[in-house]
Chain A
Amino acid sequence: MTATQSFYHNSSPPGRTGIMSWLLTHDHKRLGIMYFGAVCFWFVLAMFLGLLLRTELMTQGRTIMGAEAYNATFTLHGVIMIFLFVIPGIPAIFGNFFLPIQLGTDDVFFPRLNLFSWYLFMFGGLFAIISLFVGDGFPDTGWTFYVPFSVQNSANVGLTVTAAFILGMSSMLTGLNFVTTFHRMRDKSMGLMQIPLFTWSLYATAWVQILATPVISITFILILLERFFSIGLFDPDKGGDPLLYQHLFWMYSHPAVYVMILPGMGVISEIIPVFSRKSIFGYKAIVWSSMAIAIAGSLVWAHHMFTSGMSDVSVFVFSLLTYLVAIPSAVKVFSWVSTLYKGSIEMTPPLLLSLIFIYLFSIGGLTGLVLGAAGTNIHVHDTQFVVAHFHFVMFGGTGFAFFAAMHFWWPKMFGVMYRFKPAYIGAVLTGVGFVFHYVPMLILGMQGMPRRYYDYLPQYETGNFLAGFGGYLLIIGMVTMFVNLLLSFKQRIPAPVDPWGGTTLEWTVPSPPPVHNFMNKPHVEDYPYDFTKVTERFQKTGK
């Protein structure tokens, strides 16, 4: 396989060259790369906004911005991170690139719809930017757009909500494409229990995307109708119910948490067995736990509303249901750890990042139980504890899984290897910075410091300063990781077909893959994580 045969050198559909071969592409791999660029842009921007927030909070009173700018900044940080990075991140980039290859096919079922999804994603982002510069100021509602504030305030909430609506469409269509590809395009010899776990996690995620996203889309339309026509759906004076909005919002936004974390869990399920040189422990249990998380995760939305004034019966039922989600999540964590047990472990940057994931995600999960229990929830509701818990799951979980996926699949996507030492340094700095950043926030929350507050009492200053310090360490670590990966383009160390000793189909095709993925009909193994051949190869050749 020569470099000129890769998908970078052949367009799909054929004959297109230059920028048009990207902007009009049907190739899932090119679209994955295009999402990569766009998502990373938003990630860097939102990260910068987050750093501004923590810098502001490092000292009491005004540090670098006023209270209104602070409100707008945390809104933008949340909206961009949620809708433009965490939700689309892993599915749109790595899902687009690897789902068809892992299924042994040449593209997704609807390639044009896939391109359309990318354009919707870009238009949604564009709308979000425009909303900053038109109307009466930056939106400052927080990413939750709670009524009545989002209906009554003069900031340009309408356009931001429209942006989120468009982004929801993009997410939904990607989910539709993945489900259809899963059922209709996978290699005929591949049974359900021969499908790699990353693809299974994308399948479970896609269902949540399809079923839950319409709810938030409709809810956003209701906000627009309220703003422009004052119908009174959420206004008690007109017979409406303000809690209705919170129900509708969390009906999507809690399952969306699983849209964010499930693909990350899929990534970890791929990486752990490869670097343990051992079949994954409990393959079927992991498959079913993905589906169970998708289902159970859709039944627990009202645990965000324990202090909102809803009925006690509801608090009891949703608290109970919330605990159900812990079971399949724990099944996954125990399966990963059991896979490592007595494995022939080879430490690499993707594995190190996966191990950090397990550690941070476990803390995120356990602090979730504190919030799931109605009694303790009331104590820490809307405090920094919630912010820290959420970031342990979303950043410690999905974020580190994203970094792990980048380091795992980088050689396959770009055909080049990166240096390990800077990757290790970056990963450790990011992990240590993360702990410094968020553990103080857990403690601040337990002590009673509310979330989204611009200023605080003197007793919270040390914790906030430490969190800010951790934030800078975190950023330095991430910059190290990203720069190291980018430098691989300069070093140009060619990546072999299977640099890690993987067993799934993407490790049988050239790095980077050809435009139609497979040169010959893919050979589907009876079991996707059988390392017998890999171990034999290592013993014979030493690589």
Chain B
Amino acid sequence: MENQDKQHVLSFTQLGMVLAILLVLTGVTVGVSYIDMGFFNIPIALAIACTKVTFVLLFFMHLKYEGRVINISFISTVLVLVILIGFTFWDVAYR
């Protein structure tokens, strides 16, 4: 039985730090949008967005402190999304 009864409470300091990081990264997103890096425009924007999402998931949504079942469940959802989008390219990329 995979009961996860322990509660983990994040302090206001930790939450505040994560918030600050997210705000800084938002600023970076806006900043890099003014710089033309050619092919890298989209990958860099996506990389920053992914970093922000990771912070939200790990700390605001407590994934860092959850057990194996919750983590596997979450990763499964991401994998499904990757497959759904990725497999569409068998069509779009070869038309």
Contact = CB atoms under 8 A, between A and B. Distances in A.
Interface string B65-79: 000010001001100
Interface stretch (B8-16, B22-30, B54-62, B82-90): B82-90
Contact of B84 (A186, A190, A251, A311): A251
Given A183-B69, A211-B76, A298-B83, A247 B1 contact: no
Contacts, number: 46
Contact of A310 (B1, B73, B95): B95
Contacts of A299: 83, 87
Contacts of B69: 183
Contacts of A207: 76
B2 A183 contact: yes
Interface of B is mostly: helix
B78 to A, nearest CB: 10
A241 B95 CA distance: 12
B91 A310 contact: yes
B88 to A, nearest CB: 5
Interface in B2-47: 2-3
A314 B91 contact: yes
Interface residues of A, number: 25
A9 to B, nearest CB: 31
Contact of B90 (A190, A251, A318): A318
A317 B87 CA distance: 9
Contacts of A521: none
The interface centre, meaning the residue of B2, B69, B88, B93 with most chain A CB atoms within 10 A of its CB, is B88
Contacts of B3: 184
Interface of B: 1-3, 69, 73, 76-77, 80, 83-84, 87-88, 90-95
15 contacts: A179-B73, A184-B3, A187-B1, A210-B77, A211-B80, A251-B84, A310-B91, A311-B92, A311-B93, A312-B94, A313-B91, A314-B90, A314-B91, A314-B94, A318-B90
5 nearest A-B pairs in the assembled complex, by CB-CB distance: A311-B94, A314-B91, A313-B94, A314-B90, A310-B91
